[in-house]
Copies of this chain bind each other. A is one copy, B any other.
Amino acid sequence: MPEHTTAAVGDGFDRNARDAVYRAMFTRRDVRSHFLPTALDDEVLARLLLAAHHAPSVGFMQPWNFIVIRDAERREKVRDLFLAARQQELPAIAEERQALYRKLKLEGICESALNICITCDRERSKGSPLGRSHNPEMDLYSTVCAVQNFWLAARAEGVGVGWVSIIEAQALKGLLSIPEHVTPVAYLCVGRVSEFAPKPDLETHGWGRRLPLPELIMSETFSGQGEVLLKSTVARLNTVSAAPSSPR
């Protein structure tokens, strides 16, 4: 965890509370391998959904719906969609990485306690689409904010979440009877886990590494150098946060 020496405390947030928010972010994982067969309490799931529902949304549109999928047969069909999509994706992967790609575990559809599909109703603000005339995709982005709230709340509850993106959307829509004007944004595997891995799986397995954050910061324009002090501060914090977070 980074040090917190210079900041004013946020309205209502003392240092422990602020650290908890950061800890949820730094220790959140895209879970595929560590789901337990334990059931997920409705009380907990309700809190996660409430967190999602408090995401920001363009024009206060709240375009989301939450389809809770528990049925084993339906989930097997969804996994079949994943298996087919993974097979189709393989040729798009660089040849020297295909063996690794095949070994990666990329979903926990059937092992997790339940699945949730978070959708976006593209017509919910019909008539007065505040904020969507120039950027019609803003409703999809709002729905992603709901996904991220759900994910972080889950982490704080000790619940794992994995987002399955290797799936053909039109086939998924058919399987879940999702109408034409509604887009499935995220298909999530959700449940209790044996652990949260210390690093992202894709980092552990050598698929990628975390990029150096200072190189991603630009000043004034996309090619703009500058922000020297900010970048050096970021570099220092990044080093501290790479260490395991202390159990405060």
**CB of A90, distance to nearest CB on chain B (Å):** 9
**CB of A63, distance to nearest CB on chain B (Å):** 10
Evaluate contact between A168 and B220: CB separation under 8 angstroms: no
Q: Which residues of B contact A207 (CB under 8 A)?
A: 59-60, 130
Chain B residue at smallest Cβ distance from A227: B68
> Which chain A residues in 57-74 approach chain B with CB under 8 Å?
58-62, 64-71, 74
Evaluate contact between A22 and B47: CB separation under 8 angstroms: yes
A134 in complex: contacting residue of B22, B169, B217, CB < 8 Å: B169
Q: Which residues of B contact A53 (CB under 8 A)?
A: 210-211, 213, 216
**CB of A241, distance to nearest CB on chain B (Å):** 6
Q: Which residues of B contact A156 (CB under 8 A)?
A: 10, 13, 17-18, 21-22
Evaluate contact between A12 and B25: CB separation under 8 angstroms: no
Q: A167 at the A/B interface (Cβ < 8 Å)?
A: yes
Indicate the size class of the contact surface on chain A: 35 or more
Contact code string A139-182 (vs B, CB < 8 Å = 1, else 0): 01100110111011101111100010111110000001111001
> Which chain A residues in 7-42 approach chain B with CB under 8 Å?
7-13, 16-28, 30, 41-42
Most B CB atoms within 10 A — which of A51, A58, A165, A213? A165
Q: Which residues of B contact A153 (CB under 8 A)?
A: 21-22, 25
Q: Which residues of B contact A19 (CB under 8 A)?
A: 17
Evaluate contact between B68 and A217: CB separation under 8 angstroms: yes
Evaluate contact between A133 and B88: CB separation under 8 angstroms: yes
Q: Which residues of B contact A140 (CB under 8 A)?
A: 137, 140-141
Q: Which residues of B contact A65 (CB under 8 A)?
A: 216-218, 222
Evaluate contact between B138 and A216: CB separation under 8 angstroms: no
Chain B residue at smallest Cβ distance from A82: B134
Bound together, the chains give a CA A60 to CA B104 distance in angstroms of 13
